[in-house]
C-alpha cells in the first residue's frame, strides 16, 4: 500500500510540474486595485536575479550558520524573523488541501478566468497594505473569528464569498466560492483562525484551500509581491 501511494504521489507531482508549462518563471498576469483605488498590473512569477543563477548549490553556500555564505550576493539572500508563532501541521482538515507555491500559482492562473475562485489574505489590513500577493483580496481573520463584534464587516465579506444569508440567519453555501487563504507564514495562526471560523458556520471544507507557507515562504522563494 505504501509503495502504491508513493507511486501515485510521484505521478501527481509530475503532473503538476508538467502541467504548469514553466509559469513559475514565465509569470501570470494579475490585476488588482491598490489602496488608492487604482488598478495595478503585476506579472506574478519567481524572479531570480542573474547573479543568483550562478551561485552553486552546496551545503557551505546555503547553510553557513543561520545565513547564506558571505560569498552569496546580497540579491540572492532572504532573511526573515523565524521565532514567532507556533509551527502548524501540514493538514488542518481531511477535506482541505494544503497548498505550496506551485499550487497557489496554478490557482491564481485559473482564477483569472473563473470568478468563483478567490485568493484571500487573512491578515489585518495594515499588513495587507504593506505587502501581499498580487491578486489577493483582504479579508481580516478577526472579522470571521469575532463575527459578533464585526457584524457589518462579516456580512459584507461573507456575501463577497458567494454565501447567501437567509432570513433566519442561516447560510446558503450553494454558490460559495473556492478560496485559498494565507497569512504570514507556517507559524502564523491567523489563516487557521479564519478557516476554523468558516468551518464553524458550515462553509464547505472542500472549497477551502490553505497556503500554509504564507508570505514568508512566498518571499523566500523569490515570488512577486506588491512591494518592490
Per-residue pLDDT of the chain (228 residues; tens, 9 = 90+): 433 334 334 434 444 444 455 778 889 999 988 878 889 999 999 888 888 888 888 888 877 777 788 889 988 888 888 888 999 999 999 999 999 999 999 999 999 999 999 999 999 999 999 999 999 999 999 999 999 999 999 999 999 999 999 999 999 999 999 999 999 999 999 999 999 999 999 999 999 999 999 999 999 999 999 987
In a domain, 28, yes or no: no
Inter-residue contact 181 to 120 (CB < 8 Å) = yes
In a domain, 69, yes or no: no
Residue 202 belongs to domain spanning: 86-220
In a domain, 145, yes or no: yes
pLDDT of residue 7: 36
* C-alpha cell, 188: 502564523
* C-alpha cell, 83: 521565532
Inter-residue contact 74 to 65 (CB < 8 Å) = no
Structurally, how many domains does the chain consist of? 1
Inter-residue contact 190 to 183 (CB < 8 Å) = yes
How far apart CA 191 and CA 23 sit, in angstroms, is: 26
How far apart CA 177 and CA 183 sit, in angstroms, is: 19
Q: How far is CA 112 from CA 66, 108, 157, in A?
A: 38, 6, 20
In a domain, 136, yes or no: yes
pLDDT of residue 125: 96
In a domain, 102, yes or no: yes
Q: How far is CA 120 from CA 66, 155, 222, in A?
A: 31, 16, 20
In a domain, 152, yes or no: yes
In a domain, 32, yes or no: no
CATH code (residue 184): 3.40.250.10
pTM listed for this prediction:
0.85
pLDDT of residue 21: 53
- Of 182, 193, 80, nearest in space to 132 by CA: 182
In a domain, 199, yes or no: yes
Amino acid at each position: 500500500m505504501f509503495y502504491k501511494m508513493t507511486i501515485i504521489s510521484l505521478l501527481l507531482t509530475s503532473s503538476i510540474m508538467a502541467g504548469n508549462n514553466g509559469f513559475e518563471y514565465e509569470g501570470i498576469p494579475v490585476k488588482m486595485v491598490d489602496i488608492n483605488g487604482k488598478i495595478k498590473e503585476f506579472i506574478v512569477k519567481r524572479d531570480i536575479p542573474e547573479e543568483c543563477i550562478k551561485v552553486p548549490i552546496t551545503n557551505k553556500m546555503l547553510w553557513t550558520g543561520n545565513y547564506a555564505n558571505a560569498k552569496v550576493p546580497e540579491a540572492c539572500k532572504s532573511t526573515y524573523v523565524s521565532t514567532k508563532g507556533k509551527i502548524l501541521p501540514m493538514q488542518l482538515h481531511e477535506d482541505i488541501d494544503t497548498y505550496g507555491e506551485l499550487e497557489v500559482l496554478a490557482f491564481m492562473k485559473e482564477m483569472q478566468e473563473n470568478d468563483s475562485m478567490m485568493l484571500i489574505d487573512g491578515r489585518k489590513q495594515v499588513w495587507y497594505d504593506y505587502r501581499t500577493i498580487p491578486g489577493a483580496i483582504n479579508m481580516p481573520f478577526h472579522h470571521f473569528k469575532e463575527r459578533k463584534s464585526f457584524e457589518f464587516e462579516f456580512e459584507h465579506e461573507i456575501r463577497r464569498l458567494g454565501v447567501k444569508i437567509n432570513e433566519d440567519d442561516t447560510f446558503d453555501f450553494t454558490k460559495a466560492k473556492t478560496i485559498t487563504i494565507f497569512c504570514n507564514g507556517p507559524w502564523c495562526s491567523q489563516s487557521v483562525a479564519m478557516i476554523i471560523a468558516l468551518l464553524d458556520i458550515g462553509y464547505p471544507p472542500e472549497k477551502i484551500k490553505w497556503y500554509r507557507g504564507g508570505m514568508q515562504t512566498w518571499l523566500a522563494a523569490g515570488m512577486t509581491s506588491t512591494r518592490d
